[in-house]
Amino acid sequence: MAQQKRLTRLFVHLLLFTGAALMILPFGWMLLTSFKTVTESTSMNPFVFFPSVWKWENYVEVLQQNNFFRLYWNTFAMVFLRIACSIVFSAMAAYAFARLKFPGRNFFFGLVLFQMMVPTQIFIIPQYLMVDSLGMRNTIFALLFPGLVSAFGTFLLRQFFMGLPKELEEAAKLDGCNIGQTFVRIMLPLVRSGMVALGIFTALFAFKDLMWPMIVNTNSNAATLSSALAKIQGAYSVDYPELMAASVLAIAPMLVLYIIFQKQFIEGVATSGGKL
């Protein structure tokens, strides 16, 4: 019996370990290839696993030729602004929808729900035409534009506000707080985990998005890390070490953030999944 239990456990670990290895393997291969010479990367006989000399020049070349510092700046600015806008505006609206009574509340909340059910591609052409007619293509503002407000964030934070006890507001009212003060001083700090989750979702979505930056910021100085990769792929089609170096550079910031804040990332996804 005990023997069988040990065997099952071994089997489970073996499966989980294999899965984990498959999850990391592409990243490992990306890293190894990024340090090879082109000859090493395309040598099949003998097959080269580790570069004989770690060729840092691949990175130097990719960094210089593609203006990567600019790409980092564009991406960070977009992610930061989208997080700020979605958290501020969504928290405001979410609180009103969760706790205040006013005419039109259900109708307006219906709009929020409706937006969440529609595929985002349906907004893209008109949004592009708006940015274009404002003369704002190839700017940070263009990257921010679709993320100015967030129906998803409003819905998510509303769920968090609804989970708070009503007595808090009654007590605040007795102490002479008006609605604005109650919202900012009492309620907002209590949904911090919701705001962190929203920030993480917003950052991931903005960072990974490919189509919008590709459409609206065609100028390579205004691209994001994601949209620049699409161009770089065309330019270096055979130089796999440099393509891999570019990929490493593009995923590095989010990967580093993830390793530092892994608990928040995973808990953010886990709690919000239960809320939606």
List the one residue out of 146, 143, 144 whose CA is nearest residue 219: 143
Q: Mark 49-78 with x for binding to other proteins (rule: CB under 8 A) and - for no binding.
A: ------------------------------
State in angstroms the smallest separation of the CB of 54 from other proteins.
18
b vs e for 229-261, b when ≥16 Cβ sit within 10 Å of the residue's Cβ? Answer: beebeeebeebbbbbbbbbbbbbeebeebeeee
Contacts of 258 (CB under 8 A, 6+ apart): 265
List the one residue out of 153, 166, 167 whose CA is nearest residue 198: 153
| Residue of 79, 143, 172, 243 that binds other proteins (CB under 8 A) | 243
Q: Is 10 in the site for other proteins (CB under 8 A)?
A: no
* CB-CB contact of 150 with 84 (8 Å): no
Site for other proteins in 11-30 (CB under 8 A): 12-13, 15-16, 19-20, 22-24, 26-27, 29-30
Site for other proteins in 178-237 (CB under 8 A): 178-180, 183, 204, 207-208, 210-211, 215, 225-227, 229-230, 233
State in angstroms the smallest separation of the CB of 219 from other proteins.
15
User: Is there a cis peptide before residue 253, judged by omega within 30 degrees of 0?
Assistant: no
* CB-CB contact of 77 with 140 (8 Å): yes
| Residue of 2, 3, 102, 135 that binds other proteins (CB under 8 A) | 102
State in angstroms the smallest separation of the CB of 57 from other proteins.
19
* CB-CB contact of 149 with 83 (8 Å): no
Helix (H) or strand (E) holding 180: helix 179-181
| Residue of 100, 134, 162, 235 that binds other proteins (CB under 8 A) | 100
Q: Mark 119-158 with x for binding to other proteins (rule: CB under 8 A) and - for no binding.
A: xxxxxxxxxxxx-x------------xx-xxxx--x----
State in angstroms the smallest separation of the CB of 3 from other proteins.
17
